[in-house]
């Protein structure tokens, strides 16, 4: 599924929630300069997710932080 503008967000999410027979991926199209967090940078794995400063969930933080 693809969402190309903010007016489509609710419709696309409702459609995704209505699909129960397969996994669903939603492509939210944003401006190339948009700071969207959390994110996985190109070429990185999902275990290397990036968060906005001080926004990482507590369950993701190590004891060193």
Provide the number of structural domains found in the chain. 1
Q: What's residue 19's pLDDT?
A: 96
Band the pLDDT of 64: cuts 50, 70, 90: low
> What domain range includes position 43?
2-58
The predicted model gives 9-38 an average pLDDT of 91
Task: Report if residue 63 sits inside a domain.
Answer: no
How far apart (Å, rounded) are the C-alpha atoms in residues 37 and 60?
15
Strand partners, 27: 2
Q: What's residue 16's pLDDT?
A: 96
Task: Report if residue 64 sits inside a domain.
Answer: no
Q: What is the pLDDT of residues 6-20, one digit of tens each?
A: 999 999 999 999 999
The model's pTM: 0.57
Task: Report if residue 11 sits inside a domain.
Answer: yes
Residue 22 has pLDDT above 60, yes or no: yes
């Amino acid at each position: 599924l693809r969402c190309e503008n903010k007016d489509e967000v609710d419709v696309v999410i409702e459609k995704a929630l209505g699909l129960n027979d397969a996994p669903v991926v939603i492509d939210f199209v944003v401006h190339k300069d948009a700071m969207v967090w959390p994110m996985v940078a190109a070429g990185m794995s999902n275990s290397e997710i990036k968060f906005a400063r001080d926004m990482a969930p507590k369950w993701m933080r190590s004891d060193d932080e």
